[in-house]
A and B are shown apart, each in its own frame.
Chain A
Amino acid sequence: MAGSQWTDPRPMSPHLQIWKWHWTMAASIFHRVTGVGNYLGALLISIWIISIAAGPETYGFVEGIMLSPVGQILLFFWLTSLLFHFVNGIRHMIWDGPKAGFQPKVASAWSVFNFAFAIIAAATIWSLATNLF
């Protein structure tokens, strides 16, 4: 805490590195992390949409970036991030609405499913998109 202005003498709650990682905690943290990832990805997708209106030359430049190796890697990460936030967000609604899935074993299994779904769905959509079109 060197250089910190923290003066509150009360004990602090243990930080992330203290806890043993478990699936529900990972899903919760990654919901927020992927939210930020989606935000950053939306900035890139916005540039792509604006470039369509800007004309063929601008579009060609942006398309070149998106089809470059770096662009493709960013798009794949964005797709995975979007799908995780999507499927984990549906779980948030099921928590709020029917109030189901709170039992520890169910919650852990569901968290694992959400991670697996994001990766498998991203790979499937990616391969369909590159092979069918």
Chain B
Amino acid sequence: MSTNYKTPAAAARGLGSAKAGTNHHIRQRVSAIALVFLVPWFLYAVIAASRAGFDGATDFLSQPWNAILMILTLGAAFFHMRLGMQVIVEDYIAKAGMKQGLLILNTFVCVGLFAATALSVLKIWISAGV
């Protein structure tokens, strides 16, 4: 303890809550409320879209309501997934560097997959010309 010139107040300051928890909680719950309605539709959608091969899947996503609901589901789901995985990484990965790396990877995976899947749905919908 010979060279520690920090005052007790300086050592404790800044180590508390980041005050971001309420915002995280509300986002998690609001996306969950959206998913309560979207997930049952999504299960029906996957079954209906996959029953008749490539043409069936394309026809399904060519319908405007199906395309819109699919993009809404993807948005709510990837947003909810990102928040949930963020908490898991923060809880279990204590090592600095690894934690930040996984948090960034989580964001990249969720945003990247949302862009790729939403644009895939848009492409199918728009090319159908319905």
A residues near B, CB below 8 A? Answer: 32, 35-36, 38-39, 42-43, 45-46, 48-50, 52-56, 59-60, 63, 66, 79, 82, 86, 89-90, 92-93, 96, 125, 129, 133
* Closest chain A residue to B114, Cβ basis: A46
Q: A42-B81, A89-B32 are in contact. Are A79 and B43 (CB under 8 A)?
A: yes
Instruction: Name the segment of B3-11, B14-22, B47-55 touching the other chain.
Output: B47-55
Give CA–CA (A59, B39) in the complex, Å: 23
Do B117 and A39 have beta carbons less than 8 Å apart? no
Complex-state Cα separation, A32 to B88, whole angstroms: 8
Chain A contacts of B39 at CB under 8 A?
82, 86
Q: Is the interface of B mostly helix, strand, loop or mixed?
A: helix
Interface of A is mostly: helix
Please give the number of chain B residues whose Cβ is less than 8 angstroms from any Cβ of chain A in the complex.
Answer: 35
Given A35-B84, A42-B77, A63-B53, decide whether A96 and B29 contact each other with a Cβ distance below 8 A.
Answer: yes
- A129–B58 contact, CB under 8 A? no
Chain A residues, CB < 8 A from B33: 93
Which one of B29, B47, B116, B119 has the greatest number of beta carbons of chain A within 10 Å?
B47
Contact check, B57 vs A59: say whether CB atoms are below 8 A apart: yes
Q: For chain B, residues 100 to 123, give those with C-beta under 8 angstroms from any C-beta of chain A.
A: 109, 113, 116-117, 119-121, 123
**Given A66-B50, A79-B43, A96-B29, A86-B120 contact (CB < 8 Å):** no
- A93, B117: Cβ atoms under 8 Å? no
The contact sample of 7 A-B pairs, CB cut-off 8 A, is A46-B117, A49-B121, A54-B120, A79-B43, A93-B33, A133-B48, A133-B51
Docked-complex contact B113 and A46, CB < 8 angstroms: yes
Q: Is A50 in contact with B84, judged by CB distance below 8 angstroms? A: no
> In the assembled complex, which residues on chain A have CB atoms less than 8 Å from the CB atom of B54?
52, 55-56, 59-60, 63
**B46 in the interface (beta carbon within 8 A):** yes
The CA of A17 and the CA of B50, in the complex, are separated in Å by 42
Contact B113 A52 (CB under 8 A): no
Whether B12 sits at the interface, judged by CB under 8 Å, is no
Residues of A within 8 A of B36 (CB): 86, 89-90, 93
CB distance from B29 to the nearest CB of A (A): 7
A32 partner residues in chain B, CB cutoff 8 A: 88
Q: Are B124 and A52 in contact (CB under 8 A)?
A: yes
